Each structure stands twice: as structure tokens, then as C-alpha cells.
Amino acid sequence: MTLVRHLVRFNLQSLSPVLAVWAGVLLLQAAVLWMGPPAPHADLPSAMRVDLSLDIATIVMRWAMTVVLVALLVQRHLLVGTTAFWRTKPVPRASVLAGTLLSAVLLTVIVPLVWFGGVFLGMGLHASAALHAALAIAGEQAFITGLTLALASVSKNLAQIVVLGVVTVLLYMLGGEATWALPRRPAPFAIVLHTGEWVGIAFWTGTGILATLISVHQHLTLKTARSLALIVALIAVVVLVKRFPPWTVTNAPPVGGASRTLQKPSLSLDLESIQVTSYSGTHNGAVRPEMSYTATLTDPTPGAIILKPINWMTVIQFPDGVSERSTSPSPSPSFVDAGVETLSGQPYASVSAAIGGAVIAEPGDVAATRYRFTFLKVGADTYAGRAAQPATLNVSLDLLAYRYAIIARVPLSVSGVVRGPRYRVEFESTAAIPDGVGVDIRENYVRDWLQAAPTFYLLLNQRLREAVVATNRRESLFRSTLLDFSSMLVNRTRLEVRLSSAGARQVALDRAWLADAELLVLKPETVGRVSTSIRIDGFTLERPAKAPQAP
Amino acid sequence: MQYAIETDRLSRRFGRTEAVRDFTLQVPAGSVFALVGPNGAGKTTLIKTVMNLLAPTSGRASVLGVDSRRIGPPVLARIGYVSENQELPEWLSVGGLMDYCAPFYPTWDPVFAAALAKQLDLPVDRPLKHCSQGMKMKAALLVSLAYRPELLVMDEPFAGLDALVREEFSQGILEVTGDRPWTVFVSSHDIDEVERLADWIGIINRGRLELAEPVSSMLSRFRQVEVMFDTDTPVPARVPASWLLPQAAGPVIRFVESAFSDSESPARIRAALPAARDIQATPMPLRQIFIALARVYRLSE
């Protein structure tokens, strides 16, 4: 233990010039998050673009410095070749391993955890939220540290690590491409994340831990060729797990008793809206022409619960028994920062339920959300031969259910600050805008990587039991992590309510109304999952729009 | 006899190249053993194999009675190692290197270390990266001596050192050697570098051990012999195997006698060369012996 302590002290002392840079990088990222992005209405469009990339720049700097620190730590006691100084000294390999791991974890994981925990506390988050957000950074650091430990353990210098890193990324990408030829499971990884951020955290930190174990292997055996083989094996495992996740959406708990209608939601596919597109798609690695059918999914059932289709499978069966299957695509960018268009249901009804049934003046169309998606793809050959044949269409859907909840009530006053468990919102100012009012807020909060549904901002007049939806016209946002972790976000938003909008006209919105108003922030909470199917008989590929309406 | 290092038919192969071949060697405890051979002869590979930096392809080696594959911290605490190929922690100062190494050795003597630093004229506060090659080697020697090892292994420690530094380096070793019994195993491609230190010499050539014996034995059995005749005389077709590099130059035949004996060699020469008028046998310095042997090995390849 004394020897390990000596090695850790030696490691830290020998890195002192680099540690000053590391401290500077951590300080810089904290300062950037603390200051937050510029106000979104600032009239500096080109400068703002620079400002808005500052958070990413500081994250990249943190990653780069982590790589440098870990590389230097490992290569203080070189593990490849036969020229390392320590190899002829009476230093047990286990002690070198312990000294390096302790130094690396201390510098690149524990220090950022403690530092950012303190910074986030200082930024007004509750202790649990600050810890959560700091743990996200620590998790990201653990992943990079683990990966660098593995690469540095089989390299002689930083240049070799960079080359190995590039090769690793290329192998990862090539591996990902190669798996496209394999049969797919209809449960892409990003969807799995809806069942809980811990899956993502487990994935990345698990990868980091496995990479660290490769470094442990190299420390204890000094068998470089075998360690390199283990790195390749790890890449293969990561590629396969991402492609064929052991978790599926069905792991999410089913909705139980939240709403009777949810047990069998009366979803329908709007056949009037079907669009047929011909294009070249891929199937089992080969390019072939396809016909693609896109329609909207509607959920006419009002209620507190809204649904988000996350996974579907369509089977079209022809009278002679031949069938074709279409499955949901791989993760879609629309899952990130999802808007109402990705929902099926009545989000405003859900919001109204969350605020105790107050009247909500909605901007624009108040009808059920119509979720547009490609539900069927058939090969051009099938289309040519069976276009007129009436077939049976069966669309199976997995949906996640959400309910809106108020996470903050902010008085519209100069000192308006509200702290929730994972959320802090600060009212900054109101601004007169042509035909309405603008409200500038700053939010510090911990958000899951994938937020399933949009945040709603309402101006509520509690006395009149009336609310107006405020649109977030502009926002600028800083984040604390890049990987699929929860991230500490600092958001500056300009909310606007226009007196001439459709929504505002539904209530007597004027200065007096606003004087009694408060700002409500509502975010979706996951209730669970629900599965259902839609069956359509007599569906024809040729004239789908004229097929009978689903019951 | 106790041996500090023993190898038994030790071989180490890199792909198709056999760097060390059937190497059988005993380094007597208490000796200063110099392993000499041309560059690429396999000296470094042998030392790395003995020190467990490389695994042998076949055969075995032992150091201080421990199988080389089992050399771990307890044995390394009794061995000093200095090599031109060693990557010193150059971000440290000389003093920092001493501080780094001291906790590894229960027998580290800080007073002795300080005295060595002074004796080797090492600037304690200077970072190693700003030190000359000679200073770096002296720093490596310092941290290999300060715990008074039982065995000091040095691989080409003099390479790239100027004469003055080489002298200081050798002096440092000799002074420590004078203190107490220990074993020094040093490799070099240049016999001059180790001549002053060694009391045993081994010669390695193309991965094989060609010779290993005490320096005194070598000096006594090798002679440069000149045999004078009255007329031009060619080298006879058959000469004793102990005559190396025989050549005729007019009325003189010269060769290196590798088994010289004051009492027997003159008679043996006269028997082989009855027309000899005069025989002169001159003692050879180690350097000349080494060069003669190197020529013999080259001719036999």
C-alpha cells in the first residue's frame, strides 16, 4: 500500500504542469455553464453561433485532456516493449496497475465529479440533482478514461494512441456497417433508452469498465498482442450490443390502471392520408426498389395520457398466404428533442389535466395529434404482381405512455426563481414585443438524453382559471455532456404570447390578465408502455386510400 | 562454485532470426564478467532474456539462483540494471529519480546515494531531459548502486560516452567493487571499454558463446608468435588447431597461439616448423586477442 501511495504521489507530481491545464479546462467548462448561453434574442447572430458552440468546445477539451492525462499516466510506466525503466525495478505489476488506476480515476473521474457537483450546487440545483448531473459527467469521464487506459496500455506514446483511437473508431463504424446485412430486431437501441436512462449509462460505463479490464490484463500479463485482440473483441461486442440490444421496449413496465382506455387504445390509421413513394431501399444488404407507404396515426381519445409510438411492425398478407413484413426504422433523430408531431394523443388535454382542468387557450389546431410515419414497405416486384390484390394489413405498435406534470411555477417578477428536484428556472425579464409579450427565462436542469415529448410553457391566470400556451420562439442551450447520459442543461429561452394568436383570442388576454399570471413549466413523465394493433382487411397496394377505414 | 548467472542451452528467436543460440554460460559470483561481441551479436537479447524482459524460446536461465521466468520484485531488489536501451523517466530530475527509486529498495542507502551523486559529479536538481547521455547513464548507475545490489547487470553502458565520462563511470564501479564482494555482468561491443573492469571475459558471436574464461587465463594463453626462417617459408598445410590466423610474410610466419605455455609451446612450434631459426612469443593485450578472435570467427562463417 505504501508503494502504491508512492506511485500515486509520483504520478501526480510528475504531471503537475499538465494538471494546471486540466484544472484550467475544468474551470473553463464550469465558467461556460455558469454563465450560460447568450440570451436568444441578442442581436448578434454570427457571434452567437460561436457562443453556442462554446459548451461543445469545452466538452471536447475535457475529453482531449482526459486522453492526454490518462495516456501520460499509463506511459509513465510503459507496458509495451522491453525498455521501460520500471520493468527492471522491484515494482510489482499489481502496484503499477493500482497506482495508475487510482491516479487516473482520481484525476479524471473523482475530481470532475466533486468539482462539477459543487458547481451545479452553486448554480442552484438541489443536491440530488447536482449529484445526478455530476455523475453523468463522471460516467462520461469513466468511459473515456477506460477507453484511453486500454489504448494507452498497448501504445508507446500519444501519437500511437491517436492512431489506435482512429483505427478503433473506423473498426466500430465498419462493424456497424457490417451488421446491416444481418437480420434486424425491431427494437433499436435509442428506443430502449426510453425505458430509462440507466440503460444508456450502463452501456457506456460498461464499455468503459470492459476497456479498463483490458488495461488491467495488459498491466498484469504484458501480453500486448492478446490485449489488442481483446480491444477488437470489445469493439465487436459494442457493435453487436448496439445493433441487437439485450433490452427491448417490452422491458418497460406496462401501464396498469392509469387509464382504462389505455389497455386498448382506439388508434386508427388514416388511410385517406396515405402517400406512396417509390425509391431504392436496402434489404439484407442489397439495394432494391421499394414502394413506401406513409400514413398518419390518430388517437381520438382525450385524456391525461399521451402516447408515443416507438416501435412497430406491419405484416401485409395476400390471399395466397404470401406475406411481407415491415419494421420500424433504426433510431430516428426525431426522438431527440421530440415535438408534438411525434406524439399520438391530445397533449393539450394532458396538459390541462395536469393544471387541474383550467381552460387552455391553444395556439392553432387543437385536434388530436396526427403522427405521420412510414408503416409499410413492399418490394417493387411485389407491387407489380399484387397491386390490385386485396390483402390483410396488420400493424402492431408499441407505445410509451406519458403524462404531463408541473415542474415549476414561476411568478413573473424580477426575483422569480423556482427550484425543483432536478430543475431551476429563473425569470429574467419580460419584454414588450409587437402584438404581445415576451418572457425571458433561464433554466438549469438535468434532462434525460432523450426527452420523449416537448416541454410546455403556460401563462396561467389562476384567478380566472385560464391559461395561454407560450411558444418558445428562440432558445439557446448549453450542455455538460455529449454521450447518451443525462446532461446538465443551461437554457435561455424567449417565450412569447401574441395577443392576435388563435389561442390568445380564446381568452381576454390583456395587460391586466398578464399582471395576475404566473409561468408554468410542464414536462412529460413516463407512465409505462402499451401495445396494440390495427387490422385492415381488403387493403390494396394500388389504391390504399380507397381501402376501408379501420374500425 | 556459486554462479550469479547461469544459462543452459538458452535460445531466443525473433521470427526466423535466432538472436541467441544454445547459450550456456556461468558467471561466477564475485566476478566482474564482461560479455564482448560485435553489434548485433545478441548481447542485448541475452541480457533481456536473463532479466526476464523477454521469454526464452528454449533453454533456461537463472539469476541469483532463481529461474529467469520467475524473476520478480524480491530478486530485482538484489539486482542493479543499467542499459543504454533503458527509457529513463526524463521528466524527473536526478534527485527526483533517486526519490522515485528509493522506496522500491529496503536496502537503499541515502547517504551512499548522495556520496555517489557527488562522486559521479551529477547535478541533482537538473532534469534528466536536460542531461547529456553520459549524465543519464551515470544517473542510471547511481540508482542501481545505491541499494548495494548483489548483482549489477549493464548492457552497453559505455556506448556514446566520451573518454572522461567513461573513466568516471568505471571508477564509480571499481570503487564500489572494492567495498565488498558482488558480481558485475557488463556487455560491450568494445573490449577497450571493459578491459579495465573485467576479471572474466565472454565472447559472443552470432548468438553463440564462443569463449568464457578469466582474463588472467586469456592473457596467459594467447601470444602473438613470430617464427623466423632463413629463407621464404610458406605456412604448412597442417598446423596445430591452437594456431590462429597463421600467415607467411617472406622468411616470417606469424600466428596467434591460443594455448601458449612457456614450458611446452616453443618445443611444439619447433616440432611443427623444424627449419625455424628464431621464435618470438609476445604477450597480447585483451584488445588484440579480441580482434584476432573476431577475425577467426569471421573467417569461419
Contact call for residues A479 and A489 (beta carbons, < 8 A):
yes
What contacts A187, CB < 8 A, 6 or more positions away?
A245, A247, A248, A249, A311
Sort out which chain B residues have CB atoms less than 8 A from A76's CB and list them.
89
Nearest CA in chain B to A90: B73
Rounded to 5°, the CA angle A264-A371-A507 comes to 95
Which member of A76, A82, A91 has the closest CB to residue B89?
A76
Angle between helices A224-243 and A127-153 (to 10 degrees): 130
The SS3 of residue A460 is strand
CATH number at residue B191: 3.40.50.300
Tell me the count of A-B CB pairs closer than 8 A: 47
Out of B201, B216, B231, a domain closes at B216
Residues B263 and B181 in one domain: no
> Tens of pLDDT along A479-510?
898 876 677 888 888 888 876 665 555 677 77
Per-residue 3-state assignment (H helix, E strand, C coil) for chain B? CCEEEEEEEEEEEECCEEEEEEEEEEEECCCEEEEECCCCCCHHHHHHHHCCCCCCCEEEEEECCEEHHHCCHHHHCCEEEEECCCECCCCCEHHHHHHHHHHHCCCCCHHHHHHHHHHCCCCCCCEHHHCCHHHHHHHHHHHHHCCCCCEEEEECCCCCCCHHHHHHHHHHHHHHHHHCCCEEEEEECCHHHHHCCCCEEEEEECCEEEEEEEHHHHHHHCEEEEEECCCCCCCCCCCCCCEEEEEEECCEEEEEECCCCCCCHHHHHHHHCCCCCEEEEEECCHHHHHHHHHHHHHHHC
CA dihedral B98, B100, B105, B107 (to 10 degrees): 30
CB contact under 8 A, B101 and A2: no
Q: Based on the fold, state whether residues B250 and B156 are members of the same structural domain.
A: no
Domain termination site, one of B158, B185, B216: B216
Kindly identify which residue of chain A lies nearest to residue B155, measuring between CA atoms.
Answer: A83
Confidence of residue B120 (pLDDT cuts 50, 70, 90): confident
Whether residues B74 and A90 touch (CB distance < 8 A) is answered with yes
Residue of B nearest to A81 (CA): B53
Q: Is residue B96 domain-shared with residue B10, that is, in the same domain? A: yes
| CA of A223 vs chain B CAs: smallest distance (Å) | 11
- pLDDT value at position A539? 86
Across the range A442-453, mean pLDDT stands at 71
Which chain A residues have a beta carbon less than 8 Å from that of B92? 14
Residue A450 DSSP code:
S
Nearest CA in chain A to B88: A85
Pick from A76, A83, A90: CB nearest B104: A90
Rounded distance between C-alpha atoms, residue B68 and residue B62, angstroms: 5
CA distance A132 to A120: 10
Interchain pair B104, A85: CB under 8 A: no
* Final residue belonging to a domain, choices B216, B234, B265: B216
Instruction: Give the C-alpha separation, A470 to A521, whole Å.
Output: 10
B235 shares a domain with B189? no
- Domain layout of chain A by residue ranges: 2-250, 404-528
Closest-CA residue of chain B to A5:
B103
**Do B203 and B259 sit in the same domain of this protein?**
no
Q: Which stretch of DSSP H or E encloses residue A443?
A: strand A436-447
Set of cell numbers at residue A226? 492478446
Q: How far is A93 from chain B (nearest CA, A)?
A: 9
Lowest mean pLDDT among A151-165, B152-166, B237-251: B152-166
User: What is the number of other CB atoms lying within 10 angstroms of the CB of residue B132?
Assistant: 12
Query: Chain A residues within 8 A (CB-CB) of chain B?
Result: 2-3, 6, 10, 13-14, 76, 78, 82-85, 87-92
Q: Are residues B118 and B140 in the same domain?
A: yes
For residue B86, the distance in angstroms to the closest alpha carbon of chain A comes to 5
| Pair (B146, B277) in one structural domain | no
Looking at the structure, tell me whether residues B176 and B229 fall in a common domain. no
Q: At what angle do helices B163-179 and B110-119 cross, to 10 degrees?
A: 150
Instruction: Please give the pLDDT value at position A260.
Output: 40
Q: Considering only residues A363 and B257, tell me which one the structure prediction assigns the higher pLDDT.
A: B257
Measured CA to CA, the distance from residue A220 to residue A360 in angstroms comes to 66
Shortest distance between the Cα of B266 and any Cα of chain A, in A, equals 51
Of A6, A83, A90, the CB nearest to B76: A90
Say what the ipTM of the complex is: 0.86
How confident is the prediction for chain A on average, in pLDDT?
Answer: 79
Alpha-carbon distances, residue A291 vs A386, A478, A543, B296 (angstroms): 12, 41, 13, 85
Tell me the shortest Cα–Cα distance from B81 to chain A, in angstroms. Answer: 7
**Which residues lie closer than 8 Å to A67 by C-beta, 6 or more apart?**
A144, A148, A161, A165
Sheet of B243-249, strands arranged across? B243-249, B252-257, B223-228, B278-283
Report the number of distinct structural domains present in chain B. Answer: 2
Sheet hosting strand B17-28, strand order edge to edge:
B17-28, B3-14, B58-63, B66-67
Backbone CA torsion sign across B231, B234, B240, B241: positive
Which residues of chain B lie closer than 8 angstroms to A3, CB-CB? Answer: 103-104
For A222-254, the pLDDT digits (tens) are 999 999 999 999 999 988 877 776 655 444 555
Report whether B109 contacts B146 (CB < 8 A).
yes
Check whether residue B73 and residue B185 sit in a common domain: yes
Contacts of B87 in chain A (CB under 8 A): 78, 83-85
Same domain, B151 and B9: yes
Provide the domain limits for residue B211. Answer: 3-216
* A85-112 pLDDT per residue, tens: 999 999 999 999 999 999 999 999 999 9
Whether residues B89 and A14 touch (CB distance < 8 A) is answered with yes
Residue, of A391 and B171, whose pLDDT is higher: A391
Please give the grid coordinates belonging to residue A520.
Answer: 408554468
Contacts for A508-517: CB closer than 8 Å, 24+ residues apart: A509/A361, A509/A468, A513/A461, A513/A464, A513/A466, A514/A412, A514/A437, A514/A459, A516/A461, A516/A462, A516/A463, A516/A464, A517/A412, A517/A459, A517/A460, A517/A461
Q: Which residue in A has a C-alpha nearest to residue B83's C-alpha?
A: A83
Residues B151 and B20 in one domain: yes
Contact A85 B87 (CB under 8 A): yes
Bridge partners (DSSP) listed for residue B225: B255, B281
Q: Answer whether B53 sits within 8 Å of A82, measured CB to CB.
A: yes
Prediction pTM value: 0.81
Q: Which of B87, B94, B98, B185 to mutate to test the interface with A (most CBs of A within 10 A)?
A: B87
Q: By percentage, how much of chain A surpasses pLDDT 70?
A: 76
Residue B129, domain member (yes or no): yes
Asked if the structure places residue B294 within a domain, the reply is: no
- What distance in Å separates the CA atoms of residue A220 and residue A97, rounded to the nearest whole number? 8
Question: What does the DSSP assignment read for A365-434?
Answer: --SPBEEEEEEEEEEHHHHHHHTTS-EEEEEEEEEEEEEEEEEEEEESSTT-EEE-SSEEEEEEEEEEET
Position A426 scores a pLDDT of 84
Residue B298 is assigned to a structural domain of this protein = no
Window 72-111 of B: residues touching A by CB (8 A cutoff) are 72-77, 79, 81, 83, 85-89, 91-92, 96, 100-101, 103-105
Using a CB-CB cut-off of 8 Å, the residues of chain A touching B74 are 90
Return the percentage of chain A with pLDDT > 90, whole number: 27
Nearest alpha-carbon partner for A443 in A431, A429, A456, A426: A426
Tell me if B86 and A92 make a contact (CB, 8 A cut-off).
no
pLDDT band per the 50, 70, 90 thresholds, residue B150: very high
A3, A85, A90 member nearest B89 (Cβ): A85
pLDDT band at A547 (very low <50, low <70, confident <90, very high): very low
**Record: contact A3-B77, CB cut-off 8 A:** no
A326: helix, strand or coil: strand
B66 touches chain A (CB under 8 A): no
C-beta atoms of A82 and B105 within 8 A: no
Residue B139 has pLDDT above 60, yes or no: yes
Q: Does the distance separating the beta carbons of A3 and B48 come in below 8 Å? A: no
Nearest to A82 among B54, B89, B104 (CB): B54
- Does some domain include residue B292? no
Distance from CA of A113 to the nearest CA of B (A): 29
Provide the 10 A C-beta neighbour count for residue A434. Answer: 8
Best A3, A82, A97 residue to mutate vs chain B (most B CBs within 10 Å): A82
Question: Of the segments A49-53, A195-199, A287-291, which one has the largest average pLDDT value?
Answer: A287-291
CB contact under 8 A, A89 and B54: no
Q: Which of A369-373, A425-429, A542-546, B59-63 tops mean pLDDT?
A: B59-63
* Rounded distance between C-alpha atoms, residue A112 and residue A137, angstroms: 7
Q: B55 and B33, same structural domain?
A: yes
